[in-house]
């Protein structure tokens, strides 16, 4: 799995960081998400998929394979 994050689209909702904290975090100053791991290990795939699904700005794209 490869994670693509479109930072300009991020609305700083924080859903990704709550659902997949090993893959996403948030900047302290404005709350915009930070991609911590663009190729998360398999044990993080389910949480990463959920993070992409709950992102209100659709700023997370997953490339499976």
Q: Which CATH class is domain 2-63?
A: alpha beta
Return d(Cα 42, Cα 19) in angstroms, integer: 15
The predicted structure's pLDDT at residue 65: 81
pLDDT of residue 51: 98
Residues of the chain scoring pLDDT < 70: none
Phi, psi for 51 (deg, rounded to 5): -60, -45
pLDDT at residue 12, rounded to an integer:
97
What global pTM score does this model have? Answer: 0.95
Label residue 24 left, alpha or beta by phi (over 0 means left) and psi (-120 to 50 means alpha).
beta
| Token couple for 35 | 């991609």
Q: Nearest-CA neighbor of 13 among 37, 33, 27?
A: 33
């Amino acid at each position: 799995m490869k994670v693509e994050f479109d930072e300009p689209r991020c609305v700083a909702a924080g859903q990704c960081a709550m659902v997949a904290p090993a893959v996403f975090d948030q900047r302290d100053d404005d709350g915009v998400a930070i991609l911590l791991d663009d190729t998360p290990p398999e044990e993080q795939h389910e949480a990463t998929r959920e993070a992409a699904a709950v992102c209100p700005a659709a700023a997370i794209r997953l490339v499976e394979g």
